[in-house]
Structure 1
Amino acid sequence: MFYKLLIIAFLAVSLYGTPSDGQKKKETLLSEKVSQMMEWTSKRAVIRLNGEKFRRLIRAPPRNYSVIIMFTALQPQRQCGVCKQADEEFQILANSWRYSSAFTNRIFFGMVDFDEGSDVFQMLNMNSAPTFINFPAKGKPKPADTYELQVRGFAAEQLARWVADRTDVHIRVIRPPNYAGPLMLGLLLAFIGSLAYLRRNNLEFLFNKNVWAFSALSFVLIMTSGQMWNHIRGPPYAHKNPNTGQVSYIHGSSQAQFVAETHIVLLFNAAVTLGMVLLHEAATSDLDIGKRKSMLSSACALYERLRDQNGFDCNLVSLQSCV
């Protein structure tokens, strides 16, 4: 009986001892991965990943953190202007999280450049850039974990809302101070003030209805072309297919648009407006009537001078028309 109990105890220790050792190894490996990610994040908000780092830190278990990765092509030979713009917004979002008081190791931001990790693109069957994908702490990415760039745009605020929806981590976007805007505004106000001072005795232009009409039309054209939508959503200027190299200026969806598309609409609307204004001016302007009166007066004066000099009379021209 004693030997049976001893055997049972030995088997129990053996059975429960092995998983414990494996669990310790997983915890040690996870701790190393988190420490490595934290170290890289302390140096750079967006971690640059290649194929080896991606497989070891993102694909291979264990992992208890989410990683937001931007797949891009920033090398000059790729000629991806949208990638550069998206990278700037992504850097703003990552830095906002890095310097946030709520920063934890729950989420990290990474980047895979095509020229540094083309094998990752092949692994994920990706053929376009930029693309944002959330790799959750548990399981594989779902369709909703791929950011809808063409619909939402790549503004940092829009990315932050998507991150909060996928990870429950709320990031307050803090943009670095931009002194170019206030400087240009100050120069514009100084120019307007100087112009008003120099023409202080002749400010009739402020009451010119054409100036106010042109300003109102410009504002209406800007608003109706979709510039406010661009400001809110931050869409790319155009889209270049990385496979064919073809550039699209018109978005294929009715729920989104490119910046170039709004410029095209603005030009069309401006052309139509200019045509209507010219038609109205041609129908109501007194310019042609004034020219005709001036030519008629000159003809009458010439007729009278010839009549006085040569002494002839002509009934072809009525003097009543020379009024």
Structure 2
Amino acid sequence: MRTTLASMARIALFALLSLLALSYLPSTFAQRNASKDQASLFKRIQSSSAGYIDIDASEFSTITSYPRDYAVTALLTTTDGRIKCPPCTAFQPEFDKLTAQWNRNRAVKGKNIFVKVEYSRGQSVFAQFQLQHAPVLYTFPAGATGKDMHSFDFTDRGFGAAEVASHLNSILGTRFSYKQPINRKLVVGSITGVITLVGAIFFIGPHISALFTSSKPIWMLLSIGSMIIFTSGHMWNSIRGAPYIAMGQGGKPEYFAGGFQNQYGVETQIVAAIYSLLAFSFIALTVLVPAQRDPTRQRAGVYVWSAIFLATFSLLFYVFRTKNPSYPFRLFF
């Protein structure tokens, strides 16, 4: 009897252990699969020429999960054009330069990796951290257990790659030195400008005095052209860095900014063209038409250029009324 009870106890114990082992197997396999996915993402990032990869919400959860022996810096942003985010657009080139240099530095390459999460692909990530703005830069430290993430403060430190590099060094204990890349376009443009200026002085220099004495029409056109360019808002665009064009409702291009204190680059060009046509029609009425000897041609010139002048002025009023519907004046349109 005692032998039977002992056998039954051993069988029950064996069955219990077997059940525990079976219940543990799925989680073990899940952890192994998650580890494989994480390792695969890590290899993709390490081999990326950009120094980072775009990921979705599921991949974000995989790459930031523990355990891992490297940190993860994630940029949560929106730069795909679906949502207007000027700060996101401004920071993206700096992020690209930083990640490319970081990934070329073997001393720090394996200690921290970079990922990018677009809002359109990772809305659940934004919801997870209750984010109402972008861009956001989080760094998740390495370790076997969860630790608090570190956030980069764009408001206090700006959008420069050097500041982000300093922030990462303080968190990770690294000595990564960020170097501002050479602006090749600026260098090429400067060299081209110098060569053009030297060539112009060499070839045109002997004839400069003649330009001042016998080229009155040229100087008139240059003076009128420069006045039109500057009165159209070219300097305002250069100082404020106004966008060239914007997308309105329904994805349609918007050529005129609302209000008298805003404008786009294309708007300046349109207004300059209108001013140019107005100036030329006025010159035609005061100079070209009176010079006609044939009365019929002179009369026709008056009619044609007067019609062009009035229609162009009406178009200018229409532009002002488009920018501000409360503008009280109009002519034909």
- In the superposition, the TM-score normalised over structure 2's length comes to 0.48
Report 1 or 2 for greater relative contact order, CA contacts < 8 Å, sequence distance ≥ 6: 1
- In the superposition, the TM-score normalised over structure 1's length comes to 0.49
Larger radius of gyration: 1
